[in-house]
Amino acid sequence: MKKYTPVIGLEIHAQLKTKSKMFCSCPNNAEAGSPNTYICPVCLGHPGTFPVINKEAVISVLKAGKALNCSLRDESRFDRKNYFYPDLPKGYQISQDEKPFCYDGYLEVGDRKIRINRIHLEEDTGRIVHNEKEKESLIDFNRSGVPLMELVTEPDIRSAEEARGFAKELQLILRYLGVSEANMNQGQMRVEVNISLCKENGEFGTKVEIKNLNSFRTVYNATEYEIKRQREVLERGELVVQETRGWHDQREETFSQRAKENAHDYRYFPEPDLPPLFLNESPFKKDGIEIGVELPKEKRNRFKEEYGVDKENEIEVFIDNREVADYFEETVQLALKKINKNEAKKEVGKIAKNYLFSEVLGMLNGGLVNETKINPLKFADFVVLVYNKKISSKIAKIVIKEMFESGKDASVVIQEKGLSEISDEGEIEKVVDEVITESQPAIKEYKEGKIEVLQFLIGKVMAKTKGKASPDQANKILKQKLN
């Protein structure tokens, strides 16, 4: 069987989160209104209308370019991209060809840098809704003219996992920057995958494009399927056809949409109704634009170093859910103030993280952390009790559950339910004596060198005291009596 290396590039469109559309004053709110309500003569392409550039959209793209390690052009312009489609009322799209705002960037996915060829700005088209039952197609122009950022990578991606990883990391960055919601299920971010297979001798294969993928799952599945399909075609001694393909979710396979023998001639030319843009001058001043936020990669590194969160799946919970991360960090900071030991950040962070993941988020069952009755201050009080070993892990689970259900402070729950720790040494010693009397076979094993039996005995002490005994005191007294 011959070896083939996948060669993959991505084209990703993301709608920008601006107040108005790209070239007119219509609200940028395509999903909210009834079809064809957020429209005007400009975004419908009526004769005699003139576009006006949305400054906020330009700055959003420049900010994204900086975050993605791109060079920003000093001078740029918009171009007309000419083609006919029913949802394109002007018969052309205002886009960018030779002078995109951003170029030569990269995004790290895992331990690899995926190069970014360009990022440019254009207007979105309308939306065609097909009604199979009525055998008709309807057009909604609410989306027409929405500012659309397009990012094009170099063909540096080598697997479906990397393709998905790039798209996911880009979505996070756009959300952190606040320039796009990038919700794929609402069409705010759309991915197109270009795939070919390179032969062992270095000869490049024929490129196939998969259009309009609207989830990370479909990006992965469509890429995996197409790599397999092209490999099977080549191994049969046939040729891969250059074409555009779609993805069928139910059948989980790509399907041919149209042949693409040559690049389409869009007859680009400079948009005559818009001036060139000098991006180092007012109102843009590209060199003064600040990213202004901590990006996902920086946050991952900080959570590892500051809080000792080293499991990838746990870090990604914090990266994907900023509300959870903010709740966690506020809790840790409040707890550190209470114990006045900033050097205990990792230890306190570990306690907060463990109970947040295993108890609070579990009880929320998909709900928002901001809606829980346990606010960060109450959670910090609870964490301090655990840190100071005032409650055992068994009691802690009882307390946190009651706090979640009632919203009461940890100290109130402990008092009302009689869960205070047994700290009287004499009382604990009595229980230890009972455990030793009842556990002679285990005592014999301990004296024969099986040290791990000690944890079994401590467990019996904790069970007899219903989790109220201090584990440290139980351990100390057991050791004294056994040794």
Q: How many CB atoms lie within 10 A of CB 232?
A: 10
In what side-by-side order are the strands of the sheet with 269-270?
92-95, 79-82, 269-270
Q: Which CATH architecture fits 425-482?
A: Orthogonal Bundle (1.10)
Q: Could you state, in order of their start, the residue ranges of all structural domains in the chain?
A: 5-288, 296-416, 425-482
Give, for all 483 residues of the chain, the pLDDT tens digit.
578 999 999 999 999 999 999 999 999 998 887 999 999 999 999 999 999 999 999 999 999 999 999 999 999 999 999 999 999 999 999 999 999 999 999 999 989 999 999 999 999 999 999 888 888 999 999 999 999 999 999 999 999 999 999 999 999 999 999 999 999 999 999 999 999 999 887 888 999 999 999 999 999 999 999 999 999 999 999 999 999 999 999 999 999 988 765 556 899 999 999 999 999 998 999 999 999 999 999 999 999 999 999 899 999 999 999 999 999 999 999 999 999 888 899 999 999 999 999 999 999 998 999 999 999 999 999 999 999 988 888 889 999 999 999 999 999 998 888 777 656 566 666 666 666 777 777 677 667 667 776 777 767 767 766 666 666 666 667 777 667
d(CA 26, CA 22): 9
Is-contact 414 391, C-beta < 8 A? yes
E-strand stretches of 110-252: 112-123, 127-131, 136-140, 147-153, 189-198, 208-213, 243-248
Is-contact 13 148, C-beta < 8 A? yes
